[in-house]
Amino acid sequence: MTVANMHTAVKLGLDKTSGLDIPAYESEELDLWLNIAQDRFVKQRLFGNNYKQEGFEGSVKRVTDLHELVITEILTDKWDVGIAGYPTAKRIDLTVDLTATFMYYINSRSEVTRTLPTITEGYVDNLMIQHNEIPNFVTTGFNSPYFKNPVCWIEDDDLYVMYDSLTTGYGDADHDIQITFIKEPVTMNTVGPVACELADSTHQEIVDITVDLMIENIESARTQTHTEKLKTQE
């Protein structure tokens, strides 16, 4: 659908084919509601907020729904060196160093050189840890941890990746970092016009969510029925 087609579909869902009691909406307002619904749709598909509780890549449909937003970027020598308190860590600014607008982290990999096991410029997965686990992995004079896979965590707008002392090469001109993430979808509008970049098969579902949000906004008695119906969407 074009954005104009989506506007028409929303109006039909609101019974706005003629002058009924539903408030009239300007194109800018419909654009706003469509973009709010699009963000909610992405979150539902990514985190499984429906009756089956399936997350991203939990079904072929969910993979297909979000495939336009899944981005993998390879970064070379963009990481900060000498982070206070983390002598074997590197950091990337998720809002600056990535070419696409970062929305949600999926995973990342590091190209490393190390011993035990011996790896020369080979890729290994970074393992996400919780903040209360970070002290266990920091190399100091009192702590010499051994962990084959780098560990990572997100703080503010940054992704930190920490390595053990046996990893001798990482995050430099010879060792890339690969990050896979969900990028922020483009903002739809009728001025450009800027169309929805998600697959055509998702457009009606985004329209349905839009109608649900707008019905709730005008406090219609149909809200509960329409919301229950949306819970069955995959």
Residue range 77-100, pLDDT digits in tens: 777 766 888 989 999 999 999 999
Which token pair is 162?
């920490």
- Residue 17: pLDDT band (50, 70, 90) is very low
Give the length of the chain: 234
182: left (phi over 0), alpha (psi -120 to 50) or beta: beta
Stated as kind and residue range, the H or E segment containing 37 is: helix 27-47
- The pLDDT assigned to 136 comes to 95
Give per-residue pLDDT as tens, 177-233. 999 999 999 999 998 899 999 999 999 999 999 998 888 877 655 555 545 555 545
Which token pair is 25?
């909406």
Which token pair is 158?
């940054």
Domain ranges, ordered by start, for the chain: 3-66+185-230, 78-172
- Residue 58: pLDDT band (50, 70, 90) is low
Residue 210 exposed, middle or buried by CB count within 10 Å (0-12, 13-18, 19+): buried
The closest of 40, 19, 17 to 230, measured between CA atoms, is 40
Which token pair is 181?
């993430």
